[in-house]
């Protein structure tokens, strides 16, 4: 008999919690090595990593609004095919036996799919596969500062972005100027970085989600620059960042 669900007594934070997938309409779940997700949360901001089953390695960013968790993700399939980008929305629920679960809705190949993940004890051997040898990193370890943007006036303490990259997946953190802190994840391919991001805004105390397509270019002085077209909370914008010296 299926346990009844209740929306009460849900944790205010899922920071550090881990979940494994137990069912999905999109594919058969490997019960011996299911996909495992580790969530981090700071205020409404969500980010984390996942691995297992058909996923070699993946990362995500997102936002929590009450019991709803919206994430944007990038992962490398285990079969070595092209990196997958996507979005999903999950409802955080608690079963009668106390188990937390995420009931997720997402799209795959144009069709709506669902999956269920349940909370499990944190792994003591969380080991993301070493994919650093796959692909040629372009921005791994690089830092950039915001030079100009249509979203705001750049102040004396411009936003600073610090990136990591491996196997075509890029991720990072940023802060400064109008941003308290932010997280991003995406795919680098053929000189273009397609990414998702979430950040907390100082002035409005809001947590905003966005996406962007960024051209990675080289200036005449040898420094890299990021020329970005983005959509932030539904507003289209443009920015340029230059590699920090």
User: 144 or 125: which carries more pLDDT confidence?
Assistant: 144
Contact call for residues 52 and 32 (beta carbons, < 8 A): no
Residue 200: what pLDDT? 97
Residue 81: what pLDDT? 86
Q: With a cut of 80, say whether residue 153 has pLDDT above it.
A: yes
- Residue 194: CB atoms within 10 Å: 16
Q: With a cut of 90, say whether residue 92 has pLDDT above it.
A: yes
Contact call for residues 45 and 200 (beta carbons, < 8 A): yes
Half-sphere exposure of 44 (CA within 13 A, CB side): 17
Pairing of strands 160-166, 179-189: unpaired
User: 78 or 13: which carries more pLDDT confidence?
Assistant: 13
pLDDT tens, residue by residue, 162-178? 999 988 899 999 999 99
Burial 72-105 (b: 16+ CB within 10 A, else e): bbbbbeeeeeebebeebebebbbeeeeebbbebe
Residue 128: what pLDDT? 60
pTM here? 0.91
pLDDT tens, residue by residue, 105-123? 988 777 889 999 999 999 8
Quote the radius of gyration of the chain (alpha carbons, Å). Answer: 19
pLDDT tens, residue by residue, 155-211? 899 999 999 998 889 999 999 999 999 999 999 999 999 999 999 999 889 999 999
């Amino acid at each position: 008999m299926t346990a009844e669900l209740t929306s009460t007594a849900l944790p205010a934070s899922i920071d550090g919690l881990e979940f494994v997938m137990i069912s999905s309409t999109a594919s058969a779940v490997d019960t011996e090595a299911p996909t495992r997700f580790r969530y981090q949360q700071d205020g409404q901001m969500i980010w984390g990593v996942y691995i297992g089953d058909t996923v070699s390695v993946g990362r995500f960013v997102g936002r929590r609004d009450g019991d709803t968790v919206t994430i944007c993700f990038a992962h490398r399939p285990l079969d070595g095919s092209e990196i997958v980008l996507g979005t999903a929305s999950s409802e955080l629920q608690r079963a009668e036996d106390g188990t937390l679960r995420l009931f997720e809705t997402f799209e795959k190949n144009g069709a709506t799919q669902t999956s269920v993940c349940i909370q499990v004890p944190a792994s003591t051997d969380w080991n993301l596969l070493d994919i650093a040898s796959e692909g040629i990193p372009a921005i791994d370890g690089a830092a950039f500062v915001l030079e100009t943007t249509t979203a705001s006036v750049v102040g004396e303490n411009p936003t600073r972005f610090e990136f990591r990259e491996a196997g075509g997946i890029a991720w990072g953190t940023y802060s400064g100027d109008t941003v308290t802190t932010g997280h991003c994840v995406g795919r680098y391919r053929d000189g273009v970085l397609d990414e998702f991001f979430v950040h907390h805004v100082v002035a409005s105390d809001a947590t905003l989600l966005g996406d962007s397509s960024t051209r990675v270019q080289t200036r005449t002085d040898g420094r890299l620059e990021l020329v970005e077209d983005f959509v932030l909370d539904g507003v289209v914008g443009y920015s340029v960042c230059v590699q920090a010296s």
